[in-house]
Amino acid sequence: MPLKPTLTLAHSPDADDVVMWWPLGDVNLGRAPAIDTGKWLFQPVQIDIQEANERAISRGDLDITAISAHAYPHVQERYRITSCGASMGEGYGPKLVCRNHASAAWFAPSSASGSTGAVGESDALPTIGVPGTKTTAFLVLSMMLGGRFRPLPMRFDLVADAVLRGTADAGLLIHEAQLTFEEQGLRKLADLGEWWGRQTGLPLPLGLNVVKRDLDERFGLGSVERVSRILAASVKHAVANRDQSRRFLLEHPDCKPEWEDAALLDRYLRMYVSPLSVDMGGTGRDALAALFGRGAEAGLCPPVAGVDVV
């Protein structure tokens, strides 16, 4: 019997992405799926989120990939958004931090709009470590500060150290570092999800899952929809089997020390593998429309013709 075709599925190395897709199995490792994957096998590809963004924009060679919501306007002609797999900050999000005793005179709240902004002349602009310029965190930070800062792009897990070493005046933290920064001697200046919520009353779309439009041409009409349903089944299985999901993380080759802290891990997974991850629904679509609309209005991303969710 011929082998089933294989679809590549790229995701970041953070816990929520790893958890959502383990039920799909791994054709390279010979790990069988825990759910029915239909006519396809899946090949996970673990990459940094900014690398995933850049690869989707420049090459578009991955069948399914996690991207930052900010990256979608750049790949909308090539990919469709799946209704599952999104990470939404529901009143919380990436953290802007600085050293505990560092001055942050450049950062001041605006009493007029409730937003915040950088103050001072251009030569006093702060340097902020950011996890890539196509991340949603960077997009929202640019909105919040009116672009009045110097971005220092780097891998997301290096941002906190850059702030502690003084390489950056502040840093923008994503993934698990959002929960552990105080232990490292850093203090919060702003929570971008809280800021976004005050501006819009909506959750902050952070990460998305997208699938290639050409699956219909390659595998037959309706393939995009069928793959999206399989992905949704994977997320539902992972959520319904939390103990098994946690064990998978602890047995993962790249297991992080923070994953061994059960309370911390559960807190993170509750935040970023939420009901909106199973199905973003109308709330998620409205949040994406607001993000894309405001980003385009500010000249920070291309306009999006419509929020195309499958």
- Residue 53 pLDDT greater than 80, yes or no: yes
CATH 3.40.190.10, domain 6-88+204-297, yes or no: yes
Mean pLDDT, to the nearest integer, of 28-51?
Answer: 93
Domain spanning 95-200: which superfamily?
Periplasmic binding protein-like II (3.40.190.10)
DSSP letter, residue 182: G
pLDDT per residue as tens digits for the range 237-294: 998 888 888 888 888 766 666 666 667 677 767 766 788 989 999 999 999 999 999 9
- Residue 122 pLDDT greater than 60, yes or no: no
pLDDT at 271: 65
- Residue 302 pLDDT greater than 90, yes or no: yes
- Residue 309's contacts (CB-CB under 8 Å, 6 or more residues apart) are 80, 81, 82, 83, 280, 284, 285, 288
pLDDT per residue as tens digits for the range 60-81: 999 999 999 999 999 999 999 9
Mean pLDDT, to the nearest integer, of 222-241?
Answer: 94
Question: Distances from the Cα of 4 to the Cαs of 41, 49, 187, in angstroms?
Answer: 6, 28, 50
- Residue 301 pLDDT greater than 90, yes or no: yes
pLDDT band with cut points at 50, 70 and 90 for residue 1: very low
| H or E element, residue 172 | strand 170-173
pLDDT per residue as tens digits for the range 25-37: 999 889 999 999 9
Share of the chain above pLDDT 70, in %: 87
pLDDT at 268: 66
Share of the chain above pLDDT 90, in %: 58
Strands 107-109 and 150-153: unpaired
What span, in angstroms and rounded, lies between the C-alpha atoms of 123 and 138?
A: 21
pLDDT at 14: 76
What span, in angstroms and rounded, lies between the C-alpha atoms of 285 and 308?
A: 9
Cβ–Cβ < 8 Å for 96, 117: no
228-233's contacts with Cβ under 8 Å and 24+ in sequence apart are: 228/82, 228/83, 228/84, 228/310, 230/24, 230/35, 230/36, 230/37, 230/38, 230/40, 231/21, 231/24, 231/64, 231/82, 231/84, 231/85, 232/82, 232/83, 232/84, 232/278, 232/279, 233/23, 233/35, 233/36
Whose tokens are 């150290």? That residue is: 161
- Residue 116 pLDDT greater than 90, yes or no: no
- State the amino acid at position 195 in one-letter form: W
- Residue 40 pLDDT greater than 70, yes or no: yes
Q: HSE (CB half, 13 Å, CA atoms) of 106?
A: 22
- Residue 118 pLDDT greater than 60, yes or no: no
Q: In CATH terms, are 6-88+204-297 and 95-200 the same topology?
A: yes
**Per-domain residue ranges of the chain:** 6-88+204-297, 95-200
